[in-house]
Amino acid sequence: MKRLFGIVSLLTLALVISLPLSAGAAGKGKTAPEPAPAVQPAPEPAPAPEPAPVVQPAPAPEPPKGSGVMVGIGDMKISAILQAYFTLAQTQVGDDTVGYDTELNNSFNMSRARIFLMGSILPDKVKYVFQGDAVQGGSGTVVPWLLDARLIFVNALPQTEIQVGRFLPNFTYYQPQLVSKLDFVSYPLLTSKYAMWRQVGIQSTTKLGISSLNVGIYNSVSQNCQNTWKDADNWKDFLVRLNVKPNDKIETAVYATIGRTGVTGTSDYLTGFRAGAFLRATVSNLTALAEILYAMDENDPDNINGIAVYGQAGYKVVPKVEPMVRVEYYEPNLDGDNDEIIRLTGGVNYYIIGTNAMLSLNAVEDLKDPENLFTLYTQAQVAF
């Protein structure tokens, strides 16, 4: 019995020892299961490449404001002036034999229908001006007529510009002014009788602070050379003018020309001399202008010495309305033969848009002319 109990005890102990060993062996023989692979999200599709930007051509540069018409080279502006007027004139007709009577005449007329082409070839270097008039044809004919054709060389010399071609020399106050800037319908007698009018030549303008100096050489102001395109002879006119303008309110100048001013066929070179001066001033709404000119023509058999002078004033009662008055005296020969002209002009300017659109009414009376008693001008003007 003891032996049986001992054998059972030994078997039980062996079983107890062998169970862990068997379990360990069994564990070593099996591989632990691998974890299930993680589900990866589907990759996002690659973004489509953006199309290459279309290269736009650079925009054409805008022309500067006020440059006017586009041309092949440089720039060009177009300007124009139209002046139309109605005349009502009272004249005296008859003689001592049949007696005297008055006659009233009226007419519509075009003073000017001009167009300007102006611009530059090289900025601040070379400019040009063309001016044509469809009304005044030179010989009284109504055909398109070229008035001015000139080149202007800017800064050709220090502070100096030089113009070459056909143009109005800077002689008298109104001679270089645009006709749109005339204070009255017509020029004063001083200008209409003694101006050089259009010449072919060369003229320089040099700035000297508040002043400027003009020096010019032209064909001549003789009967064969005014308002022409060619030179009729070898004579020349020489001009000098000193202009002083401290500001927009005051301007004064002295000027002189010497050359050949008489009839073709003389052998003398310096046969004519003309000199003058003017002063224009503005005080508040009042603008006044006075000018005097002396002329000596040695070419004339009587050695004529002439003089012309005028004074005028205008007062703007309101910005658009300016009454004006002008008194002038012209004596072609200071020999006491009583052939002078004394003229009185009164009128009013109505500025619709400055001088660009205006109406003028002028009444003119020649105080010493028994035939021209009274003339009334009504003028409409447009300039751009």
Tell me, yes or no, whether 81 lies in a domain: yes
Q: Are 221 and 238 in contact (CB under 8 A)?
A: no
Among 291, 281, 376, 359, which residue's Cα sits nearest to residue 327? 291
> Is the pLDDT reported for residue 384 higher than 50?
yes
The predicted structure's pLDDT at residue 347: 97
Question: Average pLDDT, stretch 168-186?
Answer: 94
> Is the pLDDT reported for residue 56 higher than 70?
no
Query: Distance between CA 193 and CA 161 in Å, rounded?
Result: 29
- The parent domain of residue 196 ranges over 75-383
Tell me, yes or no, whether 363 lies in a domain: yes
> Is the pLDDT reported for residue 239 higher than 80?
yes
Question: What mean pLDDT, rounded, does the chain reach?
Answer: 82
Question: Average pLDDT, stretch 70-76?
Answer: 85
Tell me, yes or no, whether 304 lies in a domain: yes
Tell me, yes or no, whether 357 lies in a domain: yes
Query: Distance between CA 299 and CA 310 in Å, rounded?
Result: 26
Among 376, 378, 364, 369, which residue's Cα sits nearest to residue 92? 369
The predicted structure's pLDDT at residue 27: 45
Tell me, yes or no, whether 53 lies in a domain: no
Q: Express each pLDDT in 336-377 by its tens digit.
A: 677 889 999 999 999 999 999 999 999 999 988 777 778 999
Query: Distance between CA 384 and CA 369 in Å, rounded?
Result: 38
Tell me, yes or no, whether 67 lies in a domain: no
Tell me, yes or no, whether 38 lies in a domain: no
Among 343, 13, 315, which residue's Cα sits nearest to residue 183? 315
Among 201, 239, 196, 236, which residue's Cα sits nearest to residue 220? 236
The predicted structure's pLDDT at residue 371: 72
Tell me, yes or no, whether 120 lies in a domain: yes
Domain count, the chain: 1
CATH number for the domain harbouring residue 214: 2.40.160.10
Residue 162 or 297, more confident = 162
Cα 158 off chain centre by: 23
Q: Express each pLDDT in 92-143 by its tens digit.
A: 776 656 556 778 899 999 999 999 999 999 888 999 999 999 886 544 555 6
Confidence band, pLDDT 50/70/90 cuts, at residue 226: confident
